[in-house]
């Protein structure tokens, strides 16, 4: 448990930076291990992107939900392969999970909009500025697709470069797989 908390803390620290579109706020995380209580202060991450209609989309808008942030591009075959899994996941678990697709390319907004319609994307699509990337963009676009998962408190708990599947999302978030399950573990 202590090593898991340490890994979580290190991942959070490496993902947190402050600039114009990436802000952090402190949150206290309390864990118990062997009947002892340990309080650790970690940074809750935040970012702001513009959606396809030029509206702000912020990670902090979804506090209380798990948030799956997926960096992708229309030209990327593995990205195209995983999008149906994200659509299915959002359909089944949208009450507890939000997915944010970050389009990471220099493509016309209408091309991205048509792509999202063709793939029946049921979650927000936002645009990364590939000519002026944030630190968060730089950390997460060394390979596409890249998926970063935040817990309901805004703390990064997972990052994967490569294709993400429906079952991977279920396992990482900890969704109970029995038919009566309607909550995720934290």
Q: What digits encode the pLDDT tens for the residues 87-108?
A: 999 999 999 999 999 999 999 9
Q: How many CA atoms lie within 13 A of 43 on its CB side?
A: 15
**The pLDDT value given to residue 109:** 97
Task: Kindly state the average pLDDT of the residues 104-129.
Answer: 98
pLDDT in tens, 131-180: 999 999 999 999 999 999 999 999 999 999 999 999 999 999 998 865 55
**The pLDDT value given to residue 44:** 85
Q: Where are the domains of the chain?
A: 47-173
Phi and psi, residue 48, nearest 5°: -135, 130
Task: Kindly state the average pLDDT of the residues 32-61.
Answer: 78
Ranges 25-29, 125-129, 151-155: which has the least confidence: 25-29
Phi and psi, residue 140, nearest 5°: -120, 10
Total number of residues shown for the chain: 186
**The pLDDT value given to residue 45:** 87
The fold of 47-173 is Glutaredoxin (3.40.30)
What is the reported pTM? Answer: 0.75
Task: Kindly state the average pLDDT of the residues 105-122.
Answer: 98
Nearest CA-CA partner of 27 in 124, 155, 181: 155
Name which residue leads in pLDDT, 144 or 44: 144
Average pLDDT, the chain: 81
Q: For residue 128, what are the β-bridge partners?
A: none
**The pLDDT value given to residue 47:** 94
Name which residue leads in pLDDT, 33 or 153: 153
């Amino acid at each position: 448990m202590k090593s898991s908390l340490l890994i979580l803390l290190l991942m959070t620290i490496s993902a947190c930076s402050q600039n114009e579109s990436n802000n952090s706020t402190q949150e206290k995380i309390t864990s118990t291990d062997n009947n002892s209580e340990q309080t650790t202060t970690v940074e809750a991450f935040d970012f702001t992107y513009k959606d396809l209609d030029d509206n702000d989309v912020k990670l902090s808008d979804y506090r209380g939900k798990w948030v799956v942030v997926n960096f992708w591009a229309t030209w990327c075959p593995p990205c195209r392969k995983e999008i149906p899994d994200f659509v299915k996941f959002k359909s089944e678990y949208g009450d507890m999970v939000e997915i944010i697709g970050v389009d990471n390319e220099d493509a016309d907004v209408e091309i991205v909009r048509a792509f999202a319609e063709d793939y029946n994307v049921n979650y927000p699509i936002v645009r990364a500025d590939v000519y002026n990337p944030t630190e968060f963009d730089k950390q997460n676009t060394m390979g596409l697709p890249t998926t970063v998962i935040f817990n309901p408190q805004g703390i990064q708990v997972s990052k994967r470069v490569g294709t993400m599947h429906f079952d991977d999302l279920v396992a990482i978030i900890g969704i109970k797989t029995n038919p009566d399950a309607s909550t995720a573990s934290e």
